[in-house]
């Protein structure tokens, strides 16, 4: 793996930007440039992709510390050599994806409901704040409650609170074996099964319904897989292109339909309303089409969830679900605390931030 420490140079660039008051557009591999709003005009690019390498990895400690520009694919390969994996199964959305981008975007794959979100795996970060200070938060150990949890705050902040230089993540052993079962059922039957199975302690690591089929991924030892298969039923999915990788990377035929792609995040048992692809055991639903944004958002919020305009939009309107006024005011003050000059990715998350 290519190792290169650009920490000093990146810190200098942030200090120069702070002195000049020039906002920065932070980029790793730029594989998720489509995600979120367009940053404000007039930003200079700050490229973190060259800041690469493994700072520490001790497999039996279940923790890895990486420079933020380290390619995600290399991280996954390294972990895989040790029989381990990132719990949150991040989508890459392109060959250049970096670990820093995976944390900043906060996106997780099909294993999310069963193994936790990006923020759940974050143990610590090193970041540059808007004053050009290089700071360490959290650590490399599982349990740590010293100081406010600034590290987890970085997950999903879209780079608007600081430039990630290093991330320490919890890793998990990969299951001994995996098996995917397929059942031909309607969406409503699928949701009913997802809810029922999620209430039992089963070795499930993926639950998706699309195109009239329910996909169940199991992980564990041979005997465990055999017994669970017997209990749940269904045909085993044969070898070939991986359904789960295609789901995570949005390469399934569903995602090829024309129109804006909406991500609905809902309490998993929310009754079905839209024609959708069900992932995360019902908690993440993908909908495609020119929907009335306000009406959709209101409906999803009433059910206890939120809606994100994920792909195929101009990046100028609201992408992430609008916040209630007092919460937005608090967001502004939090932004101010970390990035007082509004240098980092201005406008990417919300126009005001």
Partner 1 sequence: MSAQPATTSISPARRQELIRALGGVLPPAALLTEAEELRPYECDGLSAYRHLPMLVVLPETLEQAQAVLRICREQQVPVVTRGAGTGLSGGALPLAHGVLMGMARFNRILGIDPDNRCARVQPGVRNLAISEAAASHGLYYAPDPSSQIACSIGGNVAENSGGVHCLKYGLTVHNVLAVELLTIEGEQITLGSRALDAPGYDLLAVINGSEGMLGVITEVTVKLLPRPERAQALLAAFDDIETAGAAVARIIGAGIIPAGLEMMDNPAIRAAEAFVHAGYPVEAAAILLCELDGTNAEVSEQVMVVRRLLLDCGAREVRTASDDAERARFWAGRKAAFPAVGRISPDYYCMDGTIPRRHLGPVLRRIAEMEQEYGLRVANVFHAGDGNLHPLILFDANNPGELERAEAFGGRILELCVEMGGTVTGEHGVGIEKLDQMCVQFAPAELQQFHALKAAFDPDGLLNPGKAVPTLHRCAEFGAMHVHGGQLPHPELPRF
Residues within window 201-230 making contact with partner 1, judged by CB under 8 A: 201-203, 220-224, 226-228
Which listed residue (31, 52, 129, 210) binds partner 1 by CB under 8 A? 129
Q: Is 315 in the site for partner 1 (CB under 8 A)?
A: no
Q: Is 15 in the site for partner 1 (CB under 8 A)?
A: no
Q: Which of 7, 50, 94, 156 binds partner 1 (CB under 8 A)?
A: 156
- Kindly state whether residue 40 participates in binding partner 1, applying the rule CB under 8 A: no
100 binds partner 1 (CB under 8 A): no
**Based on CB atoms, which residue is closest to partner 1, 5 or 149?**
149
176 binds partner 1 (CB under 8 A): yes
276-295 residues in contact with partner 1 (CB under 8 A) are 280, 283-284
Q: Please tell me whether residue 8 binds partner 1 under the rule CB under 8 A.
A: no
Q: Does 54 bind partner 1 (CB under 8 A)?
A: no
Which is nearest to 187 in space by CA: 277, 253, 306, 261? 277
**320 sits near partner 1 (criterion: CB under 8 A):** yes
- Pick out residues in 104-123 that bind partner 1 (CB under 8 A): 106, 112-113, 116-117, 119-120
Is 152 near partner 1 (CB under 8 A)?
yes
Question: Is residue 147 part of the contact set for partner 1 (CB under 8 A)?
Answer: yes
Give the nearest distance from C-beta 145 to partner 1 in angstroms: 4
Choose, by CB under 8 A, the member of 21, 42, 145, 241 that binds partner 1: 145
> Does 198 engage in binding with partner 1 (CB under 8 A)?
yes
Number of residues in contact with partner 1 under rule CB under 8 A: 85
Figure out which of the listed residues 153, 245, 252, 291 binds partner 1, where binding follows CB under 8 A. Answer: 153
């Amino acid at each position: 793996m290519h190792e290169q420490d650009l920490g000093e140079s990146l810190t200098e660039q942030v200090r120069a930007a702070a002195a000049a008051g020039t906002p920065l557009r932070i980029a790793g591999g730029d594989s998720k440039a489509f995600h979120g709003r367009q940053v404000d005009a007039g930003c200079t690019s700050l490229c973190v992709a060259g800041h690469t390498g493994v700072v520490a990895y001790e497999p039996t400690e279940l923790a890895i510390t990486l420079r933020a520009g380290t390619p995600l694919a290399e991280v996954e390969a390294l972990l895989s050599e040790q029989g381990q994996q990132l719990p949150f199964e991040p989508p890459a959305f392109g060959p250049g994806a970096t670990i820093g981008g995976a944390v900043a975007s906060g996106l997780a794959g099909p294993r999310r409901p069963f193994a936790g979100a990006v923020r759940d795996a974050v143990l610590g970060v090193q970041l540059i704040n808007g004053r050009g200070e290089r700071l360490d938060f959290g650590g490399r150990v599982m349990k740590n409650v010293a100081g406010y949890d600034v590290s987890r705050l970085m997950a999903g902040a879209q780079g608007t609170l600081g430039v990630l230089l290093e991330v320490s993540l919890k890793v998990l052993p990969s299951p001994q074996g995996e098996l995917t079962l397929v059942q031909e059922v309607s969406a409503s039957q699928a949701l009913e099964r997802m809810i029922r199975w999620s209430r039992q302690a089963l070795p499930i690591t993926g639950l998706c319904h699309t195109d009239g089929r329910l996909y169940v991924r199991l992980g564990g030892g041979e005997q465990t897989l055999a017994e669970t298969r017997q209990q749940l039923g269904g045909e085993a999915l044969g070898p070939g292109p991986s359904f789960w990788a295609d789901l995570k990377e949005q390469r399934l035929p569903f995602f090829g339909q024309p129109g804006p792609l909406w991500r609905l995040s809902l309490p998993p048992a929310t009754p079905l309303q839209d024609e959708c692809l069900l992932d995360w055991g019902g908690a993440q639903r993908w909908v495609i089409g020119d929907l009335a944004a306000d009406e959709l958002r209101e409906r999803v919020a009433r059910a206890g969830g939120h809606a994100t305009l994920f792909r195929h939009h101009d990046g100028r309107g609201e992408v992430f679900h609008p916040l209630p006024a007092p919460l937005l005011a608090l967001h502004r003050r939090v932004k101010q605390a970390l990035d007082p000059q509004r240098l980092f990715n201005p406008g990417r998350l919300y126009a005001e931030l």
